[in-house]
Amino acid sequence: MAPGAAGAADAGAGSDADAVRATWEALTDVERTALAVVFWRARAAETVTDPATGAPLFSDPLAAAAVARCIPAEAAAGMEARNKAGVDRIGWMGVRTGEIDRRVAEAAAEAAAVGAGAGAGAGAAGAAGAAEAASTAVAAGAGAEAPPLQVAILGAGLDARAWRLAWPARVAVFEADTAPMLALKRRVFAGFGLHPSVAARREVACDLRDTAALASGLAAAGHRPEAPTVWLLEGLIGYLTRAEALGLLQALWRASAPGSRAVVTAPPSEGDRREAEAEGLELHHSTFEEAPETMERARAAGWEGRIVSRDELAARYGVARAQALLLLRKQ
């Protein structure tokens, strides 16, 4: 390369780095936390494998693209250093993401069978063109008929499952979060040139502590309580008080048809908080408790189900630390 061309390339790289840094510096603490989750997920997609096959546990190209667009090199290096010095967040996030992908796929197939009749509506995802044709159905209430299956991701943040998972046909995914977070998602994902793999994706802007606002937002977006729903609460419950969590779980139970499912990550424990403090990190959660305590609250709200413990997941995937999951259903 000629010296002039090299200089132009360096200048362009510097300009790109400056743009990424400016994006990062303009973010709120909540938005940076959402991007930190994306960073761990992107790194996990690169490094965490299925012990049984050796294949990557999951794929998330949108996470890698979001990191490149929004997280400056120095911030990424700091996250890597903290991972090496303390808890293996890359392995932890990889197991959480891959296991939730698996559980949501299972719940979607089961709930679709309940809603549409055995063997109907629970097949593999259709051709990419079919998903693309209805990919931008973010507007409220697309269509008069209830879909065979609804998936609602609460506290969706920068979750990319509506894009990267192979969904059964005619699934509607509802993503609920605050208006600023949904706006951040649109900004970050804009220009990637990818379309959701789900038949319809709909946004619900609300404060998830306000269950009345959530219910009205879901209804306005076309959610039908008489159709089966799979609810995903990943990394959410711990940011609610115990009373708020109970209220939310009760509201979801009321909005669920029989056969609906919920996949919920347990909040951090008091031991997790002490360990984080020893690393110099502050966890901004409202609730610290063990998974059985969270399950008691879910049962009080009407749900049935079981816990997949952190020890079970750690042993299955060969990692030092995992996060417990609650697998819930409405009979």
Per-residue confidence (pLDDT) for residue 115, from 0 to 100: 61
Residue 198 has pLDDT above 60, yes or no: yes
Q: Give the range of the structural domain holding residue 27, as residue numbers without chain letter.
A: 3-87
Round the average pLDDT of the chain to a whole number and report it. Answer: 85
Per-residue confidence (pLDDT) for residue 123, from 0 to 100: 35
Tell me the percentage of the chain whose pLDDT exceeds 90.
Answer: 64
Per-residue confidence (pLDDT) for residue 84, from 0 to 100: 74
Which CATH number fits the domain that encloses residue 128? 3.40.50.150
Give the span between the Cα atoms of 304 and 249, in whole angstroms: 12
- Same domain membership, residue 112 and residue 228: yes
Q: What is 126-151 written as a DSSP string?
A: --HHHHHHTTTTTSTT-SSSPPSEEE
- pLDDT range class, residue 8, cuts 50, 70, 90: very low
- Same domain membership, residue 191 and residue 65: no
pLDDT mean over 68-91? 86
Q: What is the DSSP letter of 3?
A: H
- Same domain membership, residue 253 and residue 190: yes
Per-residue confidence (pLDDT) for residue 62, from 0 to 100: 93
- Same domain membership, residue 298 and residue 216: yes
C-alpha dihedral, 142 to 144 to 149 to 152, nearest 10°:
40
Per-residue confidence (pLDDT) for residue 174, from 0 to 100: 98
N-term to C-term CA, the chain: 67
- Same domain membership, residue 280 and residue 206: yes
pLDDT digits (tens, 9 = 90+) for 290-303: 999 999 999 999 99
- Same domain membership, residue 325 and residue 225: yes
pLDDT mean over 225-229? 93
Q: Which of 56, 87, 118 corresponds to the end of one domain? A: 87
pLDDT digits (tens, 9 = 90+) for 154-183: 999 999 999 999 998 889 999 999 999 999
Give the span between the Cα atoms of 149 and 147, in whole angstroms: 5
pLDDT digits (tens, 9 = 90+) for 30-41: 888 889 999 999
Indicate the pairing of strand 304-308 with strand 325-329.
antiparallel
Per-residue confidence (pLDDT) for residue 9, from 0 to 100: 35
Per-residue confidence (pLDDT) for residue 23, from 0 to 100: 85
Q: What is the pTM of this model?
A: 0.84
Q: Which of 87, 106, 135 corresponds to the end of one domain? A: 87
Q: Which of 69, 87, 105 corresponds to the end of one domain? A: 87
What lies within 8 Å, CB to CB, of 34 at 6+ separation is 157, 158, 181, 184
- Same domain membership, residue 157 and residue 60: no
- Same domain membership, residue 223 and residue 275: yes
Determine contact, residues 229/255, Cβ cutoff 8 Å. Answer: yes
pLDDT digits (tens, 9 = 90+) for 96-114: 999 999 999 998 888 777 7
- Same domain membership, residue 98 and residue 71: no
- Same domain membership, residue 251 and residue 164: yes
How many structural domains is the chain composed of?
A: 2
- Same domain membership, residue 307 and residue 183: yes
Lowest pLDDT segment from 8-17, 27-36, 83-92, 162-171: 8-17
- Same domain membership, residue 104 and residue 83: no
pLDDT mean over 273-301? 91
